Amino acid sequence: MTQRIKMIGSAMSQFLNMFTAFDLTETGPNESVSARMHRQGHKRRERLINAIFRDPDHCKNAHMNDVRDAYALIAEYEDRIK
């Protein structure tokens, strides 16, 4: 059940990200708000989000998780492309 709640939270953040991004060319459909704040260097917003989650590295970790997920997806389909 905990994994499902995390997945729902992640999906909600990705959905919200599409509405909060001023320029949709600077974000992707699988990026969370937290990850985008870290990647784009929005330090004040990043500190606020980190404080909400009570984790000083929340946004950085969200970004790194998105990067890992992207690499995993590439690896999964790499053999099918060849």
pTM above 0.85, yes or no: no
**pLDDT tens digits along 31-79:** 999 999 999 999 999 999 999 999 999 999 999 999 998 898 888 888 7
Q: Alpha-carbon distance 51 to 68, whole Å?
A: 24
**pLDDT tens digits along 33-42:** 999 999 999 9
pLDDT at res. 22? 73
What three-state secondary structure class fits 47?
A: helix
Band of the pLDDT at 6, cuts 50, 70, 90?
confident
